Structure 1
Amino acid sequence: MIIYLNYQSEVTAYFPRRQNEKKENQVEKYRRYRIGELPDIEIRYSGIIIPSQALPQYYNHIAPLLYATLFASIFNSLEDKLLPDEYFYLIHIIQYPFDLILSQ
């Protein structure tokens, strides 16, 4: 009788634990794909940006890498689009807040 009760308690604990594991391991979709023979080749910018915003919320160690890469990419693309004086002025404006943050 004791073995049966012990087994029954294990079984009743198994299913809620299994549901919690299933809920924690569920992947959230941020976009839908078209159904058909050809793959979905038309990807909007939001299809990349929205998952990129969600990624650091779940994995904290990725956040600094993602934002540093994103910032550097935007900053480097501005070098080609701005005049040299405008670019150096932008560097000067951005450098001051970073100096304040890093000095603390």
Structure 2
Amino acid sequence: MVPLAAMELLAPRETVVRVVLLDLLDPLVLLEPLELLAPLERLVTVERPVPLVLLAHLVLLVSVDLLVLLELRETEERLVRLEREDTRDTEDSLA
């Protein structure tokens, strides 16, 4: 079981994939690209939840060099920041 709510996988050629647990008690993850710095064929994208058991196979497929675990607090801070930016953008568009 992954103890933290989010982690980032950094693969060769700066292919970046974020793995986010949908629920701490649910062994499902959602993979989504963070940055498009690599050729498209190197970018791993899974648009639907996959069992955590398959994560090991996905890790091998993207040739992961580094596994960085992010603390839940950092993830929450990012979400709060994004929410504030979204609220500000909405207020600006209504003004």
TM-score, normalised relative to structure 2: 0.30
Q: Looking at secondary structure, tell me which structure has more strand per residue.
A: 2
Q: Looking at secondary structure, tell me which structure has more helix per residue.
A: 1
TM-score, normalised relative to structure 1: 0.28
